[in-house]
Structure 1
Amino acid sequence: MKHQTSQLEFSRPLQVDRVPRLGSVEKLSAEPKELKALAKRMKLPALHALSAELRATPWRGGGLKVEGHLTADIEQVSVISLEAFRETVSLPVSRYFLPAGAVNDNDQEDDADPISNGWVDLGEVVAEILALDLDPYPRKPGEAFEEHVEIEAEPKPESPFAVLARRKGD
């Protein structure tokens, strides 16, 4: 039976029970159409490249451990100058998966995601990690807020003690 994917922008399904006991190395690279769709999803002007090298290893009898790194060439818009800029990011990947029945909400120890019908979508894992790491307020390297906008405060009412001290001096 072939794995059914919902319309994910970057789908690279891996059948968990086909991963060798000593693990496998999975190299992923997004195609131009996928990059465009991911940029739209992440609200980026452009995503120029996205690749990952991951090691998938069986974990805890039926589970899967995925470790490695991803590299992305992204374009963002600075919140200071409103200019677009490119940046290359490299992020670690570390995720754990267990069969759906083995994952429960009370299991804080593992932080494992459920395996969907015997498959883990490595492309979606990479896309999620990149999306979660994006700075919501990106700035071009070296940019900083330089001007302070000072709000005029209302004058503070004079202290009753200051009024008494002035009268005492009179």
Structure 2
Amino acid sequence: MYKKSKLVFIDDLQQHDPKDGGAAYFTAKALIIAEDNGQYHGSVETLRISDLILKQSSFIYDGVHSREAHKLYTWPRNLGDMAAWAASKKTFLEQHVMHFPIQIHSVQEQHHLNWEFITPEQFKKTPQNIQASAAFQHYLDHIAEYFFLRKERNDPV
């Protein structure tokens, strides 16, 4: 479940096809730095990465303006083609979201997110008093091995 945080999706982009025939969604493992009442927590969790590009979610660009996040990727010509929807989402997520740090500014209801890209330097500024899970501690101990945290932002707009 999302909360106000900084995070970067690191691997394991997985497609999930609902049994009811609805639109596919994707999950991925993420490094997460979240703050709760002045205490910082570092963890590694699997989240629904495709929630970032739902119609209800907002992408913040240039620090001020926002747009509906579902307008960030190319929709298929045939809107009823679920396989084409899934392929389009996957391509966008792989090119623009996987391995690029983001910040979740707010969460309204379960899947309505306001988010923006941040720089790798902003993500790597880890609070000294962070309570880290074992998996997040591995990241802290081996931060130089996370090559993607040296890449430039890849904003889709």
| Same fold? TM cut 0.5 | no
TM-score range, shorter chain: under 0.3
User: TM-score, normalised to structure 1's length?
Assistant: 0.25
Larger CA Rg, structure 1 vs 2:
1
